[in-house]
Amino acid sequence: MSNSIRQAGIIGTGSAVPGRVVTNADLEKIIDTTDEWIKSRSGISERRLVSEGEAASDLATTAAKAALASAGLSPEDIDLIIVATFTGDMPIPSTSCIVQNNIGASRAAAFDLQAGCSGFVYSLSVASSMVASGAYDKILVIGADVLSSMTNWDDRATCVLFGDGSGAAVVAPVGEGEGMLSFCLGADGSGGDLLTIKAGGSRLPPSMETVQNKQHYIEMSGREVFKFAVRIMGDAAMEALEKCGLSPADVDLFIPHQANIRIIEAAARRLELPEEKVFLNVQKYGNTSAASIPIAIDEAYRSGLLKKGDVVVVVGFGAGLTWAAATLKWVI
């Protein structure tokens, strides 16, 4: 342990999605919807959903192993694991502790972080501060969500939007002026009722009644969340860039939360970014919540879109309401 201030960066990435592909045509068979409606309103063509018995930690474990291999590290090298999720395997133990055991990271401390779909970027910010303070050296940051477990499959306004998955990144000290350059985190609890799961916590513990009333499922005021998202994605990305003295013209790749193509396009217009600088995979996976940004980072890196020295902006929004953006200088 040292007390010096150190810059932190991502030195390895990984991701995992379930094998089961559910297309818009499959959904047409179970609810009153069409492929045309889903594509035109959200940009989603298909999503990956877990099979019976598969949980968040299973996806997180696979993503974590891939990130470790990408960083060239072994599980014993990791001294902290943070899992961003609101659909963990169970309330206790934390999903991070389950992953710690699964991968054999016996030296690592572990905790979960809940900030809705913004959770991965919130977790990056925590990891960055932990490295900067000298408290930890090698941190596994994971976003994992199994939204299908909390989705009301009778509610066509929400069920078509979500998917399951996990993405992971290894965060470690990097050179000065590299790695994570700035963050913009925010929350507006007054908008909390726009996106809720009402039962299952201490306010409304599980009961026959809460199950019958379908209160364990996600409820969303879609139009209101949409307006919030369009405004906040641009604002948060701009603030993160300004904080490190950069502007949208400096951005090589923009990696937004993959919730809806129309929200992403609005944010890109606000930043005046050309199409080729905006990463998109929402068509394949839908909204995978805290997993969406790390899956996108991993796919961008593995496909060669992200190169050493590139300036990357990531930005997410979600339940809470929360938002989080970061500017990174890519180091691998």
**Residue ranges binding ligand ACO (CB under 6 A):** 33, 37-38, 41-42, 116-117, 156-157, 160, 195, 218, 220, 222-223, 225-226, 229, 259-260, 287, 289, 318-319
If the CB atoms of residues 101 and 283 are measured against ligand ACO, the closer one turns out to be 283
Closest residue to ligand ACO, judged by C-beta, is 222
The pairing of strands 109-113 and 80-84 is parallel
Which residue's CB is nearer to ligand ACO, number 8 or number 268?
268
Catalytic residue list contains 159: no
Catalytic residue among 97, 117, 159, 184: 117
Among 172, 178, 169, residue whose Cα is nearest residue 137: 172
Using the minimum distance from each CB to ligand ACO, give the nearer residue, 290 or 331: 290
For the bound state, the minimum distance from the C-beta of residue 68 to ligand ACO, rounded and expressed in Å, comes to 27
Give the span between the Cα atoms of 265 and 314, in whole angstroms.
14
Q: Is 281 one of the catalytic residues? A: no
CB of 71 to ligand ACO, least distance (A): 28
Is 318 in contact with 325 (CB distance < 8 Å)? no
Closest CA to 196 of 163, 222, 228: 222
Name the burial class of residue 247, with classes exposed (0-12), middle (13-18) and buried (19+) by CB atoms within 10 angstroms of its CB: exposed
Q: How far is the CB of 51 from ligand ACO (least distance, A)?
A: 21
315-to-15, 112, 211, 294 alpha-carbon distances in Å: 18, 20, 34, 11
Q: In angstroms, rounded to a whole number, what is the distance separating the alpha carbons of residues 293 and 141?
A: 12
Q: How far is the CB of 102 from ligand ACO (least distance, A)?
A: 24
Cis peptide before 93 (omega within 30 of 0): yes
- Name the minimum Å distance from CB 144 to ligand ACO: 13
Q: Which residue type does 97 have?
A: C
Tokens of 181: 């350059």
Which one of the listed residues 24, 184, 257, 260 is annotated catalytic? Answer: 257
**Nearest Cα to 37, choosing from 219, 195, 217, 159?**
159
| Cβ proximity to ligand ACO, 33 vs 101, nearer residue | 33
Nearer to ligand ACO, 42 or 70 (CB): 42
- 117 has catalytic annotation: yes
Tell me, what amino acid is at 131?
Answer: V
The one catalytic residue in 24, 97, 159, 287 is 287
Q: Known catalytic residues?
A: 117, 257, 287
